[in-house]
C-alpha cells in the first residue's frame, strides 16, 4: 500500500506539473503571438527572403551531393563491369577476338545516366523547419515601442483637443453672428413697419387735404378768391420756394454730416440707407461702445478721457488760431483796399449831433426780467 500511495502521489505531482507546464506554454504562445503581431512588416519580409535564399542554397547543395554520389556509383559500377569483362576475356582462348557488340556496349556504358531525384525534391519540400528569428531580443525594444506609441497617442489627443476648442470657438462665433443678424433683421423689420405706418398716415393726411381743398359746390367762390389773392400768392410762392430751398440745403448738409459720422463709426454705406436708419445704427453702435467702456478699467478710461479732451482742446485752439489769422488777413486786405482808394474831402457845413435825452434807469428786478425776456426772444427768433 505504501508503494501504491507513493506512486499515486508521484503521478498526481507529475500531472499537476504537466498542467502548469501546459498553462505556461499557452501563456508563452500567446505572448509570442502578441510579439509576432507587433513585429515590423519590413523585418518579417527581410527574414522571409533570407529563409527562401537558404532554402534554394540547401536544394542546390543537396542536388550537387546527390549528383556526386551518383557519378561515383556509376564509375564504381563501370569499374566492376570492366574487371568482369577482362576476366571473361582472359578465360577464353587467346586467339579468339572479342565480339564487336560487347565493345560497343562497353563504350556506351561510359556515359552516366541522369541523376534520379528524391521524393522531397520532387515535391519541392526542402524547408529546414526553423521559424523566423524573433525581432525582439531585449525587453527595452518593447518598452521603446510602447513609449513611441504613448507619444503618438498624446500628440493625437492634443490635436483632437485643439480641434475641439477651435470647433467650439467657431460654434460660439456662429451663434453670436446668428443672434446679431436676427436682431438686425428684427430692427430693420421694425423700421420698415414704422415707415409704412408713417407713409399711411401721410397718405391719409394728403387725401384729407385734397378733400378739404376741393369741396363740392364751392368752386366759384374758390375761383373768386383765387382771382383776388392772385397777386398776394405770387409773393407767398416766392417765400415758400426760398424756404423750401433753404430747407433742402439744410437737409443736404445734415445728411452729409450723418453719413460722415456713420462712415467713421460703422463703415462705408454700401446699402445706401437713409439718414434715419443710419442714426439708428449709430445709436446702436454707441450703446455697444458704452457697454464695452463699462467693462474696462475705470482708471484707464479716465486717463483716455483726459487725453482725448486735451486733444480736442488743442484742435479747437488751433482752429481758433487759424480763424483769427484768416480774419486778420481779411481785415488787412480791407485796410489795404481802403488805403488804396482816393481820399474824399468833405465840403460844406458839418452835421450837428442831435442831443439825446437822458433815460431813466429802472430797478434791477425789472432789468433782470427784461434781460430774461430778451434771451427768450433771441432763443426763439
The yes-or-no verdict on residue 215 having pLDDT over 80 is no
Q: How many CA atoms lie within 13 A of 332 on its CB side?
A: 6
Work out the mean pLDDT of the chain and round it to a whole number: 77
Model pLDDT, residue 109: 47
Question: How distant, in Å, are the alpha carbons of 116, 141, 202, 283 from that of 290?
Answer: 106, 65, 36, 10
Q: How confident is residue 110, by pLDDT bands cut at 50, 70 and 90?
A: low
Q: What is the pLDDT of residues 155-209, one digit of tens each?
A: 999 999 999 999 999 999 999 999 988 988 888 888 888 888 888 888 888 787 7
Predicted local confidence at residue 372, as pLDDT: 61
Q: What is the predicted pLDDT for the residue at 357?
A: 66
**pLDDT value at 273 more than 60:** yes
pLDDT tier for residue 230 given thresholds of 50, 70 and 90: low
Asked which of 174-188, 324-338, 367-381 is least confident by mean pLDDT, the reply is 367-381
Give me the residue label for grid cell 439708428. Answer: 280
Q: Which residue has the higher pLDDT, 126 or 355?
A: 355
pLDDT at residue number 50: 81
So what's the pLDDT on residue 175? 92
DSSP for 30-96, please give it.
HHHHHHHHTS-HHHHHHHHHHHHHHHHHHHHHHHHHHHHHHHHHHHHHHHHHHHHHHHHHHHS-SSP
Q: For 67-90, what is each residue's pLDDT tens digit?
A: 888 788 888 888 888 888 888 888
Amino acid at each position: 500500500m505504501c508503494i501504491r500511495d507513493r506512486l499515486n502521489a508521484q503521478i498526481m505531482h507529475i500531472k499537476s506539473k504537466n498542467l502548469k507546464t501546459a498553462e505556461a506554454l499557452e501563456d508563452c504562445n500567446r505572448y509570442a503571438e502578441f510579439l509576432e503581431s507587433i513585429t515590423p512588416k519590413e523585418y518579417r519580409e527581410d527574414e522571409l527572403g533570407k529563409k527562401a535564399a537558404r532554402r534554394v542554397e540547401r536544394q542546390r547543395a543537396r542536388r550537387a551531393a546527390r549528383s556526386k554520389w551518383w557519378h561515383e556509383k556509376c564509375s564504381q559500377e563501370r569499374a566492376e563491369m570492366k574487371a568482369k569483362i577482362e576476366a571473361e576475356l582472359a578465360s577464353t582462348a587467346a586467339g579468339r577476338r572479342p565480339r564487336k557488340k560487347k565493345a560497343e556496349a562497353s563504350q556506351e556504358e561510359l556515359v552516366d545516366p541522369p541523376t534520379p531525384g528524391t521524393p522531397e525534391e520532387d515535391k519541392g519540400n526542402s524547408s529546414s523547419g526553423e521559424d523566423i528569428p524573433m525581432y525582439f531580443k531585449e525587453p527595452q525594444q518593447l518598452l521603446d515601442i510602447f513609449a513611441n506609441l504613448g507619444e503618438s497617442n498624446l500628440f493625437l489627443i492634443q490635436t483632437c483637443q485643439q480641434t475641439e476648442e477651435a470647433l467650439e470657438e467657431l460654434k460660439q462665433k456662429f451663434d453670436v453672428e446668428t443672434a446679431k443678424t436676427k436682431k438686425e433683421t428684427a430692427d430693420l423689420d421694425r423700421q420698415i413697419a414704422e415707415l409704412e405706418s408713417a407713409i399711411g398716415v401721410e397718405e391719409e393726411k394728403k387725401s384729407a387735404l385734397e378733400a378739404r381743398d376741393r369741396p363740392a359746390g364751392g368752386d366759384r367762390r374758390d375761383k373768386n378768391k383765387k382771382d383776388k389773392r392772385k397777386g398776394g400768392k405770387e409773393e407767398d410762392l416766392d417765400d415758400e420756394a426760398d424756404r423750401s430751398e433753404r430747407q433742402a440745403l439744410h437737409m443736404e448738409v445734415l445728411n452729409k454730416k450723418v453719413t460722415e459720422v456713420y462712415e467713421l463709426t460703422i463703415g462705408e454705406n454700401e446699402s445706401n440707407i437713409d439718414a434715419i436708419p443710419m442714426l439708428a445704427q449709430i445709436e446702436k453702435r454707441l450703446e455697444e461702445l458704452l457697454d464695452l467702456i463699462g467693462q474696462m478699467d475705470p482708471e484707464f478710461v479716465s486717463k483716455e478721457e483726459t487725453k482725448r479732451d486735451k486733444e480736442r482742446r488743442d484742435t479747437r485752439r488751433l482752429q481758433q488760431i487759424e480763424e483769427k489769422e484768416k480774419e486778420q488777413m481779411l481785415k488787412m486786405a480791407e485796410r489795404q483796399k481802403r488805403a488804396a482808394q482816393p481820399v474824399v474831402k468833405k465840403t460844406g457845413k458839418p452835421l450837428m449831433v442831435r442831443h439825446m435825452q437822458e433815460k431813466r434807469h429802472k430797478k434791477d428786478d425789472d432789468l433782470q426780467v427784461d434781460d430774461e425776456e430778451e434771451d427768450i426772444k433771441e432763443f426763439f427768433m
